[in-house]
Amino acid sequence: MPKTRGSARRALWAMGAAVAWSLVGSGSPAPAETRNENGFDLSPSSIPVDQILRGGPPRDGIPALVDPEVSADPTTWPPETSIVGVVIDGKARAYPIALLNWHELVNDRLGEQPILVSYCPLCGTAMVFSRRFSNGTHEFGVSGLLYRSDLLMYDRTTDSLWSQISAEAVTGPSLGKRLTLLPSRMMRWGDWQGRHEASTILTRATGYPRDYDRSPYGGYNRSEELAFPARFDPRYHPKMPTLGFRHTDGRARAYPAAEVLEVGSVKEEFAGSQLSVRFDASAGVFENSYDGALEVVDGFWFAWSAFH
């Protein structure tokens, strides 16, 4: 994408367009050599089985949180703490990235809604889903498997594997079913608490001995190296913050931070919705608004590009 102000407004891009893909990655991940990995039956699968990789930890080696302890005390975490914020039925809650780096999934209930807060540290993607299904409420765990460097979750009811970014079951009895994505926002706790004074936030009392003041991923989010292979358009730094919008009809559009910063902000129409996007470089977060039925994915450039 040429670095001009005119073209920068087109930083959003329809991913159906032809792009120059490249295979990028580092390390030596072990491909799934059989139809069973980490105790999951991979047959049938809607994705190539040889691209389902073992991330290292076994099934549940990264422990998902269930019904976490929360606090309404704003001093529970420092104001600069990065969080995922959710508002449901008028109730606001924040989920610190410092916890999600170690647990990746939180099975929670906010208002009357059972929710799943998911975070893939390798992709920088925070996505919140409903856990309510036609056959009841499901609880999710971390499979220890990855697809295109992204977290594969599993539900403990059917043992189906679910791709976080595509929000779809890729193996098991739920194959082909989609999760309902709920609105969420990544920002700093102080900013979130300023907007939602009654917000609760998860505490460090998880029941697990983890050093939540340290990220197990070090400077991964700044490095150009990937821990696992993924095919993506190389025009931007792979970890560039990127905000993507997608419609159920398959249309998708992305806003890399560098392009948004070049023009200051973007306001335009996409898939029948009016969008407004701005990137706060000091906080490292997007501000956005939209109307209409769209899904929003906030994460690293390579992760968006690999799936759209």
**For every one of its 308 residues, what pLDDT tens digit does the chain have, with 9 covering 90 and above?**
333 333 333 333 333 322 222 333 333 444 444 579 999 999 999 999 999 999 999 999 999 999 999 999 999 999 999 999 999 999 999 999 999 999 999 999 999 999 999 999 999 999 999 999 998 999 999 999 999 999 999 999 999 999 999 999 999 999 999 999 999 999 999 999 999 999 999 999 999 999 999 999 999 999 999 999 999 999 999 999 999 999 999 999 999 999 999 999 999 999 999 999 999 999 999 999 999 889 999 999 999 999 99
Instruction: State which H helix or E strand residue 257 sits in.
Output: helix 257-263
Instruction: State which H helix or E strand residue 196 sits in.
Output: none
Nearest in space to 62 (alpha carbons), one of 283, 216, 174, 264:
216
Which tokens sit at 207?
A: 């029941």
Q: Is the peptide bond before 44 cis (omega within 30 degrees of 0)?
A: yes
Distances (CA, A) of 273 to 247, 269, 290: 10, 5, 6
Geometric angle at alpha carbon 242, from 122 and 307, rounded to 5° = 65
Q: Is the dihedral of CA 81, 305, 63, 220 positive or negative?
A: negative
CA distance 78 to 285: 17
CA distance 62 to 238: 25
CA distance 149 to 164: 11
| Amino acid identity for residue 49 in this structure | V
- Extents of the domains making up the chain: 1-12+19-24+229-308, 26-216
